[in-house]
Every structure is written in C-alpha cells, then in structure tokens.
Chains A and B, each alone.
Chain A
C-alpha cells in the first residue's frame, strides 16, 4: 500500500516569492493534516481536514497561508508571499477515521522549504 506522498521534497525560494506544496494521502483516509516542523522542534498543526472541510485551521497564518482539499483527496498548501521565518519542513499526514481516533497518523516524508 502506498504511503502519503508529498512534493516537492525540497524547495529553495527567495523571500516574497510564492510556494506551493502538494499532498496525496493514503487511499481511503478522509482526515488530512498539514504540520510544520521547525529545526529541532516537534511538528505543529497548521490545518486539519475532514473530507473537504477544514475543521481546524486556528494555527494557520491566514494572511499568507492558504490550503485547499478539492474532492476530499489531494491537498495543496500555499504560502504567498514567503518570509524568512517560513523556512521549515511541511509535513502532510492522514488518518482513516473522522472525528477522533487512536492518534495514529501516517506522515509523508515532508517538503523542506528554505527561504533566502
């Protein structure tokens, strides 16, 4: 079974440029998460989707970050414009049950963003 797929794996941009990350969750998983992990830190939730609906986006910096999950499958996370402090690894995860589960999330390998 294929795992969570993310692209690109690495991205280097200059500040004020836009950037987008793509995630394809495990087939049949209707809950999708975007986390941000700074160097030496644990992952921090940015947004959680149940199917197409964003049910928790309280930690998403809405002035520059946006996300969408069309048709309840793939998701895209966008940053526009990027700032130096956005340099981090952006992790996508999925889980099979909606509204609460065992806490077992399946993570992708992440997209490492460097903003110069």
Chain B
C-alpha cells in the first residue's frame, strides 16, 4: 500500500526565514510525486510534478526536489501570502491509473 508521510505537521516562520518541508513516501513504483497548496476553505491547487530522483522544479519562492525516498519543498524568503497547507501526493505505476495518495499536509504560517 502506498504511503506518504509529511513533516512537520505545522511550521511557523518569520517573513524572509527560509525553510524546508519534508515528504517521505513508500510506493511500489513511483510514477510521479506531486505538491499541492491548499488555502482554508478551498480545494488543493497544483504546484509541481516530479518524476525521477534528482529532478527539481521551481516556482517563485518554492523549489521542489526528489530523491528515491523523499521530496523536499524549499521555501526561500517566504512572505505571508505563502501561508497555506502544503500537500504531497504520490502516484504509482499499475492499476491505480490516476489515483493520487495524499499525505496529511504541512500547515505553514508566515508572520510579519
């Protein structure tokens, strides 16, 4: 069974204080690893897809990296508008098709 574990559960940063969120995964054969952002009362919003170890993707202050066992979401010089819950999900090869298995998320709060 595919499993995704995210840490920390919650993170509070000062504006400009860089940090990283962790996503550890166990999957029979990784087809893709995905990062989503979720604001309160909203549905998740897609950020990145990573397919193979060593791959990196960047978007504004966010950079996602992937190894064979985990992924990191690096946040550089965060701003208050980066406050949200960040969800990691994996997709496995095989009969699951488009099925994504999500972690429980990291709730990020960026303060002035």
Q: Known: A42-B4, A42-B87. Contact between A55 and B97, CB under 8 A?
A: yes
Shortest Cβ distance from B50 into chain A, in angstroms? 10
**Contact among B41, B97, B98 with A109 in the assembled complex (CB-CB below 8 Å):** B41
A8 nearest CB across to chain B (Å): 14
Question: Does A107 contact B44, Cβ atoms closer than 8 Å?
Answer: yes
What is the total number of residues of chain B having a CB less than 8 Å from a CB of chain A?
23
Question: Taking the nearest CB of chain B, how far is it from the CB of A57, in angstroms?
Answer: 11
Flag B85-102 by CB within 8 Å of A: 1 or 0 each. 001010100001111101
* Residues on the A chain within 8 Å of B34, using CB: 103-104
A56 touches B87 (CB 8 A): no
Interface flags, A64-101, vs B, CB<8A=1, else 0: 00000000000000000000000000010101000111
Say which residue of B4, B32, B44, B103 sits within 8 Å of A102 (CB atoms): B32
8 Å CB contact of B100 from A40, A99, A105? A105
Q: A42-B105, A103-B91 are in contact. Are A95 and B98 (CB under 8 A)?
A: yes
Question: Complex: how many Å from CA A79 to CA B31?
Answer: 33
Other-chain contact of B104, A33, A40, A102, A108 (Cβ < 8 Å): A40
B43 on interface, CB distance cutoff 8 Å: yes
Given A41-B104, A42-B102, A55-B97, A102:B49 Cβ within 8 A: yes
B45 within 8 A of partner (CB): yes
Q: Does B42 contact A (CB under 8 A)?
A: yes
Q: Which residues of A contact B (CB under 8 A)?
A: 4, 31, 33, 40-45, 48, 55-56, 91, 93, 95, 99-110
A and B contact pairs by CB, cutoff 8 A, 28 listed: A4-B43, A41-B104, A42-B87, A42-B89, A42-B103, A43-B87, A44-B102, A45-B100, A48-B99, A55-B97, A56-B96, A91-B43, A99-B97, A100-B97, A100-B98, A101-B98, A102-B49, A103-B32, A103-B34, A103-B98, A104-B34, A105-B100, A106-B46, A107-B45, A109-B41, A109-B43, A110-B42, A110-B43
